[in-house]
Amino acid sequence: MNPTPLPLSEVLAQARWWRLRISPLRRVQLPDFTGPALRAALGAACRLTGCAQGCDQGPCRVGAGCFFYDAFEPGTAGRPAYRLDTSDLDGRTVEPGEVREVGLVCFSHAGPLLAALQVALARGLDRGRTGWTVRAVEEVSGAALLPALEAAPGERVVELRTPACLEQDRAPLLRPEAVDVLHAIRKRAKSLGVLVGPLPVFGGEVEARLLERGEGEVKIWSARRQQEQYLRACTARWRVRPTPEQAWWLELGRVIGIGGRTAYGFGVLGCLV
């Protein structure tokens, strides 16, 4: 028998949420998926603001206890402590003075990560290194961003909004089912350490109907490597009738993401009532 999940509010209370309103210094054309570029820029900014050893682009020589290692690199603990939301930037041409938003959710190192993100934006995301001005930083209540589960019973649409390459037994899973999304959320929750007690075991019992699937290679821009890369991944939408426990985990996935190997770094899951 699976353990009863904590109230979602208790999990959300472990995170801090921000919306950053930003404007570019000059006209900029952003790629379809801005997340990889921002994640790479954030990593470089974490090194710049938190590395005392001068590791530059090489491997971290300190390991646990180094801000860059603890907050950004999975390392042996496997717990990158944040998730980015760049959906307001993706694929857009943004003019100077035009205001867009970036979201940041932190489960640890919140203050230093927020500071590093602002440095990353100032240093630029595109190939031309166009800097962004941070016009406002607003901390928001995580609990206010998610509807109460009791208010949304019954069917819902579950969507992988960003191209993702989930894994099963360390092999790419390019045609995932709804239950595979639950497995990915469980793995991510374990890596973050945000839950108490044993994790549930999901079988193949999720009642779901596939609505749409897209798969192929997605071109992304890596600011770290300064080159284009290709991600073999898929998007998908299902109509799901979840059990209360499954609904809880799907809502959690909206907060923490679905894990690595996604075009946003840690994925965005949409649950549409």
Q: What is the pLDDT of residues 164-215, one digit of tens each?
A: 878 777 777 778 888 888 888 888 887 777 665 566 677 667 888 888 888 7
* More confidently predicted of 51 and 226: 51
pLDDT at 149 over 80: no
Which residues are within 8 A (CB) of 240 and not within 5 positions of it... i.e. 6 or more apart? 155, 156, 157, 158, 178, 206, 207, 208, 209, 246, 250
252 residue type, one letter: L
The model's confidence at residue 222, banded by pLDDT at 50, 70 and 90, is low
Task: Select from 51, 61, 253, 80 the least CA-distant residue to 162.
Answer: 253
pLDDT band at 131 (very low <50, low <70, confident <90, very high): very high
Q: State the Cα–Cα distance between residues 92 and 118, nearest whole angstrom.
A: 20
d(CA 115, CA 191): 24
SS3 94: strand
Q: What CA–CA distance (Å, rounded) separates 257 from 252?
A: 8
Q: What is the pLDDT of residue 76?
A: 45
Q: Which amino acid is residue 85, in one-letter code? A: D
pLDDT at residue 4 above 60? no
Q: What is the pLDDT of residue 216?
A: 72
pLDDT score of 46: 83
Q: Give me the pLDDT at residue 246, please.
A: 84
| Confidence class for position 262, pLDDT limits 50, 70, 90 | low
Of 77 and 28, the one with more pLDDT: 28
Model pLDDT for residues 33-71, shown as the tens digit of each residue? 788 788 888 888 888 887 766 666 666 667 677 777 777
CB 143 within 8 A of CB 98: no
Q: Is 260 helix (H, G, I), strand (E, B) or coil?
A: coil
Question: What is the per-residue pLDDT for 52?
Answer: 66
Q: What does the block give as tokens for 130? A: 């166009």
d(CA 111, CA 117): 10
Instruction: Output the CA–CA distances (angstroms, integers) from residue 19 to 86, 110, 265, in the order listed.
Output: 10, 13, 18
- Say yes or no to pLDDT of 148 above 60: no
Only one residue has tokens 């166009």, namely 130
